Amino acid sequence: MGFFITFEGIEGCGKSTQVKLLSEALNLEGFPCIATREPGGTYIGSKIREILLNPDHKGIAPQTELLLYAADRAQHIIELIKPALNDGKVVICDRFTDATVAYQGFGRRLDSSLINRLNEIASQGLLPDLTILLDCNVKIGIQRAMERNSKNKDIRDDRFEQEAMEFHDMVRNGYLAIAKEEPERVKVVDATKDIQSMHGEIWGIVNAFLRNNRT
């Protein structure tokens, strides 16, 4: 089996950039690596992503949102994640089950037992070996996301980026609660640092983990 590493955090925390940098570093160090994301890590998932993030779809009920994420994850696990892990690869995923707990649990206030059960079914019980939580103040994250989107005329703020600050605060609190509960798995990184400083810290965490667990 390979290793499963996930990145988590609020909007605008810099996950996509750090996933790219880490995957490049791992490949250079001889660790075959695949970078993916949720939602949208497969063709079917990309269609689900369009539904979930489209800012015109404000009428999606929280329960519908939860089930769509579960559907995306189930396809992702079967089609990409488990086959890659079985091939001995390192899989880096931008968001996974922790995101569902933080966004649909803490943010949407859906029943935690329902979320945990759906996560288990969709993921086939797979848990990340290591999770990097990029943490920053909500106002900083949202400002970054809006600035990023404004640079591209074809991109609008997505449905989650348009949520109220209170929602994002609850999501952040959810992530920090997960990290406090599982400190061995979830490593918190200050996302207000510059990109290279963050990458250096993340690389140190991941490199040590892989070296210590490689057989």
Answer yes or no: are the C-beta atoms of 94 and 19 closer than 8 Å: yes
129's tokens: 């070996």
- From first to last of its 215 residues, what are the pLDDT tens digits of the chain? 899 999 999 988 999 999 999 999 999 999 999 999 999 999 999 999 999 988 889 889 999 999 999 999 999 999 999 999 999 999 999 999 999 999 999 999 999 999 999 999 999 999 999 999 999 999 998 888 877 766 665 555 577 877 888 999 999 999 999 999 999 999 999 999 999 999 999 999 999 998 888 75
What pLDDT sits at residue 151? 66
Q: For residue 128, which of 210, 185, 85, 89 has the smallest C-alpha distance? A: 185
In terms of CATH, what superfamily is 3-213? P-loop containing nucleotide triphosphate hydrolases (3.40.50.300)
HEC profile of 42-95: CHHHHHHHHHHHCCCCCCCCHHHHHHHHHHHHHHHHHHHHHHHHHCCCEEEEEC
Please, which residues have CB within 8 angstroms of residue 33's CB and are 6 or more apart in sequence? 23, 26, 27, 89, 90, 91, 92
CA distance 152 to 137: 24
pTM of the model: 0.93
Q: For residue 101, which of 190, 176, 191 has the smallest C-alpha distance? A: 176
What pLDDT sits at residue 193? 95
Domain ranges in the chain are: 3-213
What pLDDT sits at residue 143? 86
97's tokens: 């089950």
pLDDT tens, 43-56?
Answer: 999 999 999 988 88
What pLDDT sits at residue 152? 64
